[in-house]
Amino acid sequence: MQGEFWRLESPSSPARRAEWDHGRVELETITCPVSEGHQRSGRRLTDLSVVLPRGSVESFVWTWQSECLMQDHVLGLFRSRGFTGFEVKPVTARFDGSSEKPPTLWELVLTGWAGMASSASGLRLDEAKSCAVCGHLTYTGLVDPGHLIDKEKWDGSDFFMVWPFPRLVFVTQRVVDAIRENKLTGVRAVRGWSFEPVTDEFSPGRLSYSMPEGRARELGEPLGIY
């Protein structure tokens, strides 16, 4: 079943990645009243501002924090094809060391959903290391990526997220076909299951850090991840 889905990634070389324009990006600060170790950054409170490396800008731009940005022509293509499961946010961009105006960029925001990772993947919430007071979530490693997605939980969207991997952009074959037919640059499509097992525990934040407020509440509250 996993073979039906793809994942969009940054190209192998990090040379064209964008950096946050620090000082222009504001993050929520979360302080846990019971554990100093749970103090952390929460959701981003501002739209994204980035600094681009000088030179041509590809169809897709990825940040070091794994945000996926797209140019206007990509957004137009996706909308003309009727792709579902995403929204966009405006991005303020500038070139590093240049006053030249870069092209318009949009941040991809996933709204499509394939639920929680399948239990067959071996991934689970580590309740002992999570915190009901501040909402800190810790998950065990992913043993079997081939069982990450439970198709029964997928809402049918062309772009979608699987929790607890909010930064992984899963897509359907239709999206991959459009990218290849139009020779879009700055992105590669890999099979949805083709990544190494996650051996260490990790903390992805909350769903509200990654999805629009209403959608995050709708999906996340019943699962305790909002």
Residue at 12 is within a domain: yes
83's CB contacts (< 8 A; 6+ apart) are: 158, 159, 174, 175, 178
Per the structure, the count of domains in the chain is 1
Cα–Cα distance for residue pair 75/184, rounded to 1 Å: 12
Q: Which domain holds residue 176?
A: 2-219
For residue 187, give Cα distances in angstroms to 61, 67, 70, 119, 177.
8, 12, 10, 30, 13
Sheet holding 86-95: strands in order across?
19-20, 48-52, 86-95, 105-110, 68-71, 60-62
Residue at 115 is within a domain: yes
Residue at 224 is within a domain: no
Per-residue model confidence as pLDDT tens for the chain (226 residues): 455 899 999 997 888 999 999 999 999 999 999 999 899 999 999 999 999 999 999 999 999 999 999 999 999 999 999 999 999 999 999 999 999 999 999 999 999 999 999 999 999 999 999 999 999 999 998 999 989 999 999 999 999 999 999 999 999 999 999 999 999 999 999 998 888 888 899 999 999 999 999 999 999 999 999 9
Structure pTM? Answer: 0.95
Residue at 225 is within a domain: no
CA-wise closest residue to 6 among 176, 154, 121: 176
Cα–Cα distance for residue pair 162/67, rounded to 1 Å: 16
Residue at 169 is within a domain: yes
User: How many of the other CB atoms lie within 10 Å of CB of 51?
Assistant: 17
Residue at 226 is within a domain: no
